[in-house]
């Protein structure tokens, strides 16, 4: 029987992550065997993706800052692509150089950080690319455990969403959260107009007046009611139409747009949310002004990053070696922008490379010491958006 006093959130502490307690048991056993037999192997471990999710031509590399935070002070050297780099399957993302028994226990956490960040950031980038100049608000925190809410908002923001809804993200990330209102507020008043009026009276004036217009009546009727109540103060209406009523969402949005326009409310923007994914964005992006996207970004297809030894240091030189199915040798990617014109070479022997091709992986850490200043969250996001502008639209999944 559980003692009430022992109830808690089942989440790991920073200390347990930093000390390698959060790992797979087979790594702890590997370290024990290597140490017991005095096997000290200096290796280069490469992080890469063999196969991207179906329909993905590229993905966004994210999570590097947390990886460097984890490895700081540990006897390793780290080469990596800058956080936010768009990459393709088969390209080296990061290389850790060091004695295997010194760092293998961290492989679980390193992969966990990179895979989770890159999966959310890549999906956010696809959604933002498809939304074009329309706003994308990330509403997905409710899809995941609250312990990682700041990380989830950060990953989605790196991927290019315009704003996040997490209240805690101002404290943890310095991002001013954005949102509208829940159906609960309207149900509590029992009347849309009372709820909208109360919101307008109570909430700070710099918060956009975007009223939820699908609680009791048809979206077209409630949108007009909100416009007639707030007039020029109304900045937008949110349609979170339940699936039972969805039918042809495009037609619903067209009705709302038409009705607002013929009554002189062309200034009122339309936000859609609820089950929004890439297909819906393609269908609605010419009609709406903003998308509220949650679950499809919060629970994205997994960017399956794996880590493999690709070189061993022997007789004072690096010898390519790896398991079947992988390419031996630590690698570098040379890229000619705009776009993803890439050449993959050996890290130490790139051969003849034309000067318009620039190396992507750089040395971030030497023997546990950070060598470079890391970019801010906004600078990483800008870098992602800049690369997205050079890419074709993804096929919507
Ligand atoms: C949801 C809530 C989220 C939206 C939809 C994200 O509506 O408004 O912001 O949906 P997604 O995860 O499917 O993309 P409700 O569940 O109706 O919640 P509420 O009444 O609080 O708006």
Burial grade of 218 (CB within 10 A; 0-12, 13-18, 19 or more): middle
By residue range, what is the domain housing residue 314? Answer: 10-120+302-388
Query: What is the pLDDT, as a whole number, of residue 32?
Result: 98
d(CA 351, ligand 1 centre) in Å: 53
User: Does residue 20 sit in the same domain as residue 59?
Assistant: yes
CATH number at residue 338: 3.20.140.10
Q: Using 50 as the pLDDT threshold, list the residues of the chain that sit under it.
A: none
Check if 215 has its Cβ closer than 6 Å to any atom of ligand 1.
no
| Nearest alpha-carbon partner for 296 in 312, 280, 284 | 280
Cβ of 285 below 6 Å from ligand 1: no
Is the beta carbon of 293 within 6 A of some atom in ligand 1? yes
The verdict on 179 and 276 lying in the same domain is yes
Same-domain status, 269 and 184: yes
Model pLDDT, residue 276: 97
Ligand 1 pocket member 274 (CB < 6 A)? yes
For residues 167 and 277, state if they share a domain: yes
- pLDDT for position 320: 98
Residues 342, 215: one domain?
no
Testing ligand 1's pocket by substitution, the residue of 239, 240, 276 carrying the most ligand atoms inside 8 A of its CB is: 240
The pLDDT assigned to 5 comes to 84
- Contact residues for 96 (Cβ-Cβ < 8 A; gap 6+): 44, 45, 47, 71, 76, 77, 78, 103, 110, 307
Q: What atom of ligand 1 comes closest to residue 140's alpha carbon?
A: 12
pLDDT of residue 224: 98
Q: What is the DSSP letter of 257?
A: H
For the CA of 242, the nearest atom of ligand 1: 17
CATH code of 170's domain: 3.20.20.70
Domain boundary among 231, 263, 298: 298
Which of 138, 139, 165 to mutate to test ligand 1, by most ligand atoms within 8 A of the CB atom? Answer: 139
393 assigned to some structural domain: no
pLDDT of residue 124: 98
Residue 397 pLDDT: 86
Q: Whose CA is nearest to atom 3 of ligand 1?
A: 139
pTM of the model: 0.97
Q: What is the pLDDT of residue 3?
A: 85
């Amino acid at each position: 029987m559980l003692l009430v006093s022992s109830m808690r959130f089942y989440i790991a502490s920073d200390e347990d992550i930093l000390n390698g307690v959060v790992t797979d048991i087979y790594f702890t056993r590997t370290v024990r065997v290597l140490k017991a037999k005095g096997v000290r192997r200096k290796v280069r471990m490469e992080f890469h993706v063999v196969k991207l999710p179906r329909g993905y031509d590229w993905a966004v590399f994210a999570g590097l800052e947390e990886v460097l935070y984890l490895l700081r002070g540990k006897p390793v050297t780290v080469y990596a692509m800058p956080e936010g780099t768009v990459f393709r399957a088969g390209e080296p993302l990061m290389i850790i150089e060091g004695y295997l028994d010194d760092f293998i226990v961290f492989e679980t956490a390193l992969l966990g950080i990179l895979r989770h960040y890159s999966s959310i950031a890549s999906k956010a980038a696809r959604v933002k690319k498809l939304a074009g100049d329309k706003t994308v608000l990330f509403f997905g925190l409710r899809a995941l455990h609250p312990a990682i809410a700041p990380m989830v908002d950060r990953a989605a923001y790196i991927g290019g969403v315009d704003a996040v809804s997490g209240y805690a993200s101002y404290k943890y990330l310095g991002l001013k959260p954005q949102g509208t209102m829940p159906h609960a507020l309207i149900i509590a008043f029992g009347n849309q107009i009372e709820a909208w009026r109360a919101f307008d009276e109570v909430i700070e004036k710099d918060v956009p007046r975007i009223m939820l217009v699908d609680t009791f009546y048809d979206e077209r009727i409630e949108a007009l009611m909100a416009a007639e109540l707030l007039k020029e103060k109304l900045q937008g209406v949110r349609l979170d139409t339940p699936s039972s009523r969805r039918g042809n969402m495009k037609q619903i949005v067209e009705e709302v747009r038409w009705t607002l326009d013929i009554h002189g409310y062309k200034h009122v923007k339309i936000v859609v949310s609820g089950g929004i994914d890439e297909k819906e964005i393609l269908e609605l992006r010419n009609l709406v002004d903003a998308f509220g996207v949650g679950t499809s970004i919060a629970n994205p297809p997994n960017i399956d990053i794996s880590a493999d030894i690709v070189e061993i240091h022997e007789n004072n030189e690096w010898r390519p070696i790896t398991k079947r199915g992988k390419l031996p040798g630590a690698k570098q990617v040379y890229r000619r922008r705009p776009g993803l014109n890439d050449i993959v070479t050996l890290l130490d022997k790139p051969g003849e490379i034309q000067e318009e091709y620039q190396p992507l992986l750089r040395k971030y850490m030497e023997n546990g010491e950070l060598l470079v200043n890391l970019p801010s969250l906004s600078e990483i996001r800008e870098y992602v958006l800049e690369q997205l502008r050079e890419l074709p639209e993804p096929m919507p999944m």
